[in-house]
Amino acid sequence: DQQVKQNSPSLSVQEGRISILNCDYTNSMFDYFLWYKKYPAEGPTFLISISSIKDKNEDGRFTVFLNKSAKHLSLHIVPSQPGDSAVYFCAALSGSGNTGKLIFGQGTTLQVKP
């Protein structure tokens, strides 16, 4: 049962253009979402997060949008740079109190072409 899904395994964009990575979830109880970036042979690096009480969070070139009614979130990267080429994971935070399990999607490989 895949509770967090990234349906696009890969995405290729031109340098300077916008990259849009999508993520869908099934559990309406999820209240916090995160995006991680992963380079080969390295661990995931936290990128940006959003609480379910918001519909948008922005940090420099990165913006995450949340549509709760559609159970959908997206990560926008503007402008895209070759150094952004990596695997991007969407994750939902499950649990309450002292529990904080991240449930990850399968990842989307982004390639930014110079």
Partner 1 sequence: EAGVAQSPRYKIIEKRQSVAFWCNPISGHATLYWYQQILGQGPKLLIQFQNNGVVDDSQLPKDRFSAERLKGVDSTLKIQPAKLEDSAVYLCASSLEARQPQHFGDGTRLSIL
The residues that touch partner 1, with contacts defined as CB under 8 A, are 4, 32, 34, 36, 41-46, 49, 89, 91, 93, 95, 97-107
Choice between 2 and 67, CB closer to partner 1: 2
For 42-51, letters b (16+ CB in 10 Å) and e give eebeebbbbe
The end-to-end CA distance of the chain, in Å, is 38
Q: In whole angstroms, how close is the CB of 68 to partner 1 at the nearest point? A: 19
Q: In whole angstroms, how close is the CB of 25 to partner 1 at the nearest point? A: 12
Measured between alpha carbons, how far is 107 from 31 in angstroms, rounded to an integer? 20
Q: At CA 52, angle to CA 76 and CA 25, rounded to 5?
A: 70
Q: In whole angstroms, how close is the CB of 101 to partner 1 at the nearest point? A: 5
Choice between 49 and 79, CB closer to partner 1: 49
Closest CA to 46 of 95, 86, 12: 86
Choice between 15 and 32, CB closer to partner 1: 32
Q: In whole angstroms, how close is the CB of 14 to partner 1 at the nearest point? A: 26
Choice between 27 and 46, CB closer to partner 1: 46
CB-based contacts of 83: which residues, under 8 Å, 6+ apart?
112
